[in-house]
């Protein structure tokens, strides 16, 4: 009986540890994807804004700022790719450069905003084409 209880306790502990480990792995995979999902929300908001009368210009600084902050998370969120791939780092730097341009010289009119959004969107796609 004592052995049976010990065995059951061991099995229970094992199951709990497995669940914890699986949960940790799932959470680790969720993080990079979550960064991307929020970036997508900001890019979509910018693109949707272009169809409005003011082309979303008043809100655009907020969304570019969000993209800059989220972009700064990429090296942490995709640590293995950052470490192992020069091309990944290069794609990330090009993305940052596109955002930097929009951030340091904020688009003043709809045409400039359209160009900036297109450039950022293309730099997302450039990385996805190779790494997603
Ligand atoms: C430097 C590379 C890189 C850049 C730049 C980048 N992404 Fe990604 N993105 C990835 C990778 C890698 C994945 C796949 C992640 C995975 O499945 O674990 C991904 C996945 C995604 C996903 C799918 C998330 C999901 O639900 O699984 C979306 C949406 C996305 N990116 C949007 C964007 C947007 C929008 C931008 C630009 C504003 C962007 N990404 C810029 C590398 C990048």
pLDDT over 80 (residue 22):
no
pLDDT over 70 (residue 6):
yes
Closest Cα to atom 6 of ligand 1: 124
pLDDT in tens, 36-95: 999 999 999 999 999 999 999 999 999 999 999 999 999 999 999 999 999 999 999 999
What is the Cα–Cα distance from 120 to 98, expressed in whole angstroms? 5
Closest Cα to atom 24 of ligand 1: 33
Counting atoms of ligand 1 from 1, which one is nearest the CA of 78? 12
Closest Cα to atom 28 of ligand 1: 36
84, 124, 125, best to mutate for ligand 1 pocket (most atoms within 8 Å of CB): 124
Q: Which domains does the chain have, with CATH numbers?
A: 32-131 (1.20.120)
The torsion defined by the Cα of 49, 127, 112 and 99, in degrees rounded to 10, comes to 90
pLDDT over 70 (residue 25):
no
pLDDT attached to residue 72: 97
What is the Cα–Cα distance from 55 to 95, expressed in whole angstroms? 22
pLDDT attached to residue 16: 78
């Amino acid at each position: 009986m004592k052995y049976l209880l010990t065995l059951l306790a061991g099995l229970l502990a094992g199951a709990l540890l497995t669940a914890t480990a699986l949960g940790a792995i799932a959470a680790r995979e969720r993080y990079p994807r979550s960064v991307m999902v929020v970036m997508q929300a900001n890019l979509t908001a910018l693109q949707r804004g272009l169809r409005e009368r003011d082309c979303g210009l008043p809100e655009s600084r907020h969304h570019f700022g969000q993209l800059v902050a989220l972009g700064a998370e990429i090296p942490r969120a995709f640590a293995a790719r950052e470490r192992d791939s020069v091309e990944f780092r290069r794609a990330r730097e090009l993305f940052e450069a596109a955002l930097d341009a929009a951030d340091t010289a904020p688009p003043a009119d709809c045409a400039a905003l359209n160009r900036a959004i297109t450039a950022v969107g293309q730099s997302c796609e450039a990385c996805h084409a190779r790494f997603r």
